Amino acid sequence: MSATRRDLLLMTAAGAGVGMVFTPVPWKLLDDVSIWTQNWSWLPKHPRGEITITHTVCPLCPAGCGMKVRRVNEAPFAVSSTPGGALCARGFAGHQLPFHQSRLRTALHRGKAAPLAEALEDAAAAVERARRSGAVVAVLDQRPGRMVSVLYRQFLAGFPRAQYVTLPAPEEGTLRAVAELTGRPPRSLGYDFERSRTIFSVGAPLLDHWGAPGRLLRLWGAPERKIRFWHAASGNSRTAALSDRWMAIRPDSEHALVRGLISILIREHGAGAGLALPASLSAFPPEEAAARTGVPLAQIQELARELATARPAVAVGGGDPVAGPLPAATEQALSVLNALLGALGTPGGIVERRPVPQPTLPPGLPAETTLARAPARSIDVLIVDSASSGCAWPLELIQDKLAPDAVTIHLSAFRTAWTAQATWTLPVPAPFEAWEEIPETPGSRLASWSLAKPLFPMPEGAISPEAVLHRFGLPEDQTLDALLQAKAAAIEKAGRGVVRPLAEPDESSPVGEGLWDQLTEGAVWVDDPEPAPRPLRAAIPDLPDLPQVASTAQFPLLATPAGSRGGAGSMPSPPLASKLTRESHLEPAAGEVRVHPRTAESLGLKHRGRAVLATPKGETAVVVRTDPGMADGFVEVAIEGDRGAETLALFPVSRDGAWRWSPAQLRRA
Amino acid sequence: MAAQAKIPTPPPQKQRRYGMVIDLDRCTGCGACMTACAVENNVPSGPPEADERKGINLMRVFTVRERNSRRTAFIPILCMQCGDRTPCETVCPQQAVEVDPLTGIVEQMPQRCLGCRYCMAACPYQARTFNWWDPAWPAGMETTLNPGVAPRMRGVVEKCDLCHSRLHAAEDRAAAEGRRDLNPGEYVPACVEACPTQAIVFGDLADKASEVSRLAAQPESFRWLERLGTGPKVYYRTRRRWVRDLARQGGAAPNQEVTRG
Amino acid sequence: MNLRSVFSFLAGLAGMLALGWLVFPAVLYERIPQPAQFSHQVHTGEAGMSCSDCHAFRDDGSFAGIPRLETCLPCHTEPAGETPQEKHFIEAFVTPHREVPWLVYSRQPDNVRFSHARHVKVGEMACEDCHGAVGESARLKDFQRNRISGYSRDIWGPRMLRIGWKPGEGMKMSDCEDCHRQRSVVAGCLGCHK
Long-range contacts of C84-92 (CB under 8 A, 24+ apart): C85/C36, C85/C37, C85/C38, C85/C39, C88/C36, C88/C37, C89/C36, C89/C37, C89/C38, C92/C35, C92/C36
Task: Tell me chain B's radius of gyration from C-alpha atoms.
Answer: 19
Asked if residues A207 and B28 have their Cβ atoms less than 8 Å apart, the reply is yes
Confidence at residue B259, expressed as pLDDT on a 0 to 100 scale: 41
Is B144 within 8 Å of A75 when comparing Cβ atoms?
Answer: yes
Best residue of C10, C13, C165 to probe chain A, by most A CBs closer than 10 Å:
C13
Asked if residues B19 and B105 have their Cβ atoms less than 8 Å apart, the reply is no
Beta strands in B11-132 (DSSP E): 18-23, 60-65, 72-77, 97-99, 106-108, 128-130
Is the peptide bond between A325 and the residue preceding it cis, with omega within 30 degrees of 0?
A: no
What total number of domains does chain B contain? 1
Confidence at residue A481, expressed as pLDDT on a 0 to 100 scale: 94
pLDDT tens, position by position, A260-295: 999 999 999 988 888 888 989 999 999 999 999 999
Among B29, B134, B144, beta carbon nearest to A95:
B144
Confidence at residue B4, expressed as pLDDT on a 0 to 100 scale: 46
Report the mean per-residue pLDDT for chain A.
91
pLDDT tens, position by position, B54-102: 899 999 999 888 877 778 999 999 999 998 889 999 999 999 999 998 9
Asked if residues A70 and A77 have their Cβ atoms less than 8 Å apart, the reply is yes
Q: In the beta sheet, which residues pair with residue A402?
A: A379
- pLDDT for A467 beyond 60: yes
Query: Nearest to residue A434, comparing CAs of A141, A153, A97?
Result: A97
Residue A457: band (very low, low, confident or very high) from pLDDT cuts 50, 70, 90: very high
Q: Does C45 touch chain A (CB under 8 A)?
A: no
Shortest Cα–Cα distance, B155 to chain A (Å)? 11
Confidence at residue B257, expressed as pLDDT on a 0 to 100 scale: 41
Among A22, A35, A51, beta carbon nearest to C62:
A51
Is C188 within 8 Å of B103 when comparing Cβ atoms?
Answer: yes
* Any domain includes B12: no
Collect all residues with Cβ–Cβ distance below 8 Å to C36 and sequence separation of at least 6. Answer: C85, C88, C89, C92, C93, C100, C102
DSSP class of residue B159 equals: E
Confidence at residue A128, expressed as pLDDT on a 0 to 100 scale: 95
The CA distance from C173 to C112, in Å, is 9
* Any domain includes B4: no
- pLDDT for B258 beyond 70: no
Asked if residues B260 and B56 have their Cβ atoms less than 8 Å apart, the reply is no
With beta carbons under 8 A apart, name residues in chain B contacting A581. Answer: 31
With beta carbons under 8 A apart, name residues in chain A contacting B36. Answer: 78, 80, 92
What single letter denotes the amino acid at residue A54?
T
Percent of chain A at pLDDT exceeding 90: 69
- pLDDT for B5 beyond 50: no
Asked if residues C100 and C93 have their Cβ atoms less than 8 Å apart, the reply is yes
* N residues, chain B: 261
The CA distance from A118 to C154, in Å, is 55
The class of domain A107-169+355-526 in CATH terms is: alpha beta
Percent of chain A at pLDDT exceeding 70: 100
With beta carbons under 8 A apart, name residues in chain A contacting C146. Answer: 32
The domain spans of chain A are 51-99, 107-169+355-526, 189-352, 557-668
Among B61, B139, B147, beta carbon nearest to A77:
B147
Q: Does C185 touch chain A (CB under 8 A)?
A: no
Confidence at residue A242, expressed as pLDDT on a 0 to 100 scale: 93
With beta carbons under 8 A apart, name residues in chain B contacting A597. Answer: 255
Render A3-27 in DSSP notation, one character per residue: PPHHHHHHHHHHHHHHHHHTSSHHH
Measured from the Cβ of residue C63, the count of other Cβ atoms closer than 10 Å reads 16
Higher-confidence residue of A605 and A569: namely A605
- Region at A224 (left for phi over 0; alpha for psi -120 to 50; beta for the rest): left
| Closest chain C residue by Cα to residue A23 | C20
- pLDDT for A249 beyond 80: yes
pLDDT tens, position by position, A363-396: 889 999 989 889 999 999 999 999 988 888 888 8
Q: What is the CATH number of the domain that holds B232?
A: 3.30.70.20
A314 by DSSP, 3-state: which? Answer: strand
Q: Does A15 touch chain C (CB under 8 A)?
A: yes
Report the mean per-residue pLDDT for chain B.
88
Q: A-contacting residues of C 70-129, CB under 8 Å?
A: 109-111
Asked if residues C113 and B107 have their Cβ atoms less than 8 Å apart, the reply is no
Collect all residues with Cβ–Cβ distance below 8 Å to A270 and sequence separation of at least 6. Answer: none
Higher-confidence residue of A513 and A486: namely A486
- pLDDT for B45 beyond 60: yes
pLDDT tens, position by position, A15-47: 999 999 999 999 999 999 999 988 888 899 999
With beta carbons under 8 A apart, name residues in chain B contacting C168. Answer: none
| A173-182 helix and A328-340 helix, angle to the nearest 10 degrees | 70
| Closest chain A residue by Cα to residue B111 | A38
Is C149 within 8 Å of A19 when comparing Cβ atoms?
Answer: no
Q: Please count the residue pairs, one from chain A and one from chain C, whose beta carbons lie less than 8 angstroms apart.
A: 103
- pLDDT for B193 beyond 70: yes
Residue A1: band (very low, low, confident or very high) from pLDDT cuts 50, 70, 90: low
- pLDDT for B252 beyond 70: no
Report the mean per-residue pLDDT for chain C.
89
Q: Does A11 touch chain C (CB under 8 A)?
A: yes
pLDDT tens, position by position, A162-219: 999 998 788 888 999 999 999 998 889 999 999 999 999 999 999 988 888 888 988 9
- pLDDT for A13 beyond 70: yes
pLDDT tens, position by position, B105-122: 999 999 899 999 999 999
* Any domain includes B95: yes
For residue A135, report the phi and psi dihedrals to the nearest 5 degrees. Answer: -75, 160
Q: ipTM score here? A: 0.91
- pLDDT for B256 beyond 80: no
**Dihedral sign from CA coordinates of B222, B31, A628, A624:** negative
The class of domain A557-668 in CATH terms is: mainly beta
Q: Please give the model's pTM, rounded to 2 decimal places.
A: 0.93
Question: Stretch B228-242: mean pLDDT, rounded?
Answer: 93
Confidence at residue A15, expressed as pLDDT on a 0 to 100 scale: 92
Query: Between vectors from CA C116 to CA C110 and to CA C121, what angle results, nearest 5°?
Result: 160
In the predicted model, residues of chain C with pLDDT beneath 50 are none
With beta carbons under 8 A apart, name residues in chain B contacting C121. Answer: 175-176, 178
Architecture of domain A189-352: 3-Layer(aba) Sandwich (3.40)
Beta strands in A428-472 (DSSP E): 436-439, 448-452
Higher-confidence residue of C174 and B11: namely C174
Maximum CA extent, chain A: 131
Maximum CA extent, chain C: 74
Asked if residues A161 and A402 have their Cβ atoms less than 8 Å apart, the reply is no
What is the span of the domain harbouring residue B106?
A: 18-260
The dotted CATH code for A51-99 is 2.20.25.90
pLDDT tens, position by position, B146-185: 999 999 999 999 999 999 999 999 999 999 998 988 999 9
Is C15 within 8 Å of A25 when comparing Cβ atoms?
Answer: no
Confidence at residue C1, expressed as pLDDT on a 0 to 100 scale: 62
